[in-house]
Structure 1
């Protein structure tokens, strides 16, 4: 992967009546300095991470659902049962399965041991609930992977503009993806490809892995770079992700 000198995203921004418009802006979904640090020449290894079905049950068992509800009430006692997506995100994160999180930690450690620089990109539908820094600090701050969380993917399709906090602020992803790269945002795979291209990575050469329990028909286009989890991430999934990220690299 060759570093790009392109310092701005194809994403467009309409201030929606806000006259305090910025002349220069990068993609609101990433930490550009984290992706391209000035003093770290290690090759990046990208981990596109789903949440439901990977770190917590995709369909919450009654006891997990109850725990999430009680956690929301404890953390946000004045919400009066009307909890925002942001609040639900924080409470849900407190109920992640320890074994699954340990497997994700194993992937990160395996990448570091290979001499590469692990970077996590959130591809879960939870990414729409809040901004990147809120994910890193409020929702996932208690977990190791939050320290490697460099970004999140855009909307998957047009109707997700209703959910995405960035879209609500006036950022346009759909037209940018199609105009700049000929990509129609219609599923998780296309959003991942858009993120890669928009951040200077060639999807055919970049070192990345997608960990997800869903959209197998679409994500299978990534071959062995797609690790599909059954129920939750396990040791076998972690080994497959490490192999995909380190197999072609010699240090």
Structure 2
């Protein structure tokens, strides 16, 4: 077993986690009156109970197809679930997938400013997909993900995280779940007074021009009182102890 896996096991054991991360993939579900195939991340909802958390508010930034918001709302019927998607076409898809579900769906780019921001849509085989970003892709990104084509920048409405929460009347969050293509540090810089108990986020290095890389984001989380519980290579789970 590698040193990294051993360190991961120790961190998880110390935090109280027993269940393994999920394999990211797709679930066949019934939603919006029909059969749907929706994506889910590696976040395991069993971790809430293992950490002694009864989730009351979950905020999901980067909806993709709404799959994570869907499973959270179904697993925790007493929990408020908010999902935020920047890309207008993906937002329409998410709204359709989650029609009739107990999820609030918002069309903003989560970032560090309020107002219009540049948005770089991304396509795969001509279809707008989930790799859109407020940042341009670097050569490193293009080399690793050559099947993803970033399009010319447009503008979408941006929201600071504290502004978003104030507008929703949210003052406490149990899980901040983020897959926002390099904008994680921007969100963390605009938390205001809110400190989510758990932060689950994509971790990247050198993929987005002008964005702080994952190491800087990690340092920022430590400054905010978080400790890393799981390092899943491209994703990480952080806990802020009470």
Query: Do the structures match in fold with TM over 0.5?
Result: no
Q: Which one has a larger percent helix, Structure 1 or Structure 2?
A: 1
Normalised to the residue count of structure 1, the TM-score between the two structures is 0.36
Higher relative contact order (CA 8 A, sep 6+): 1
- Rg: which structure is higher? 1
Normalised to the residue count of structure 2, the TM-score between the two structures is 0.37
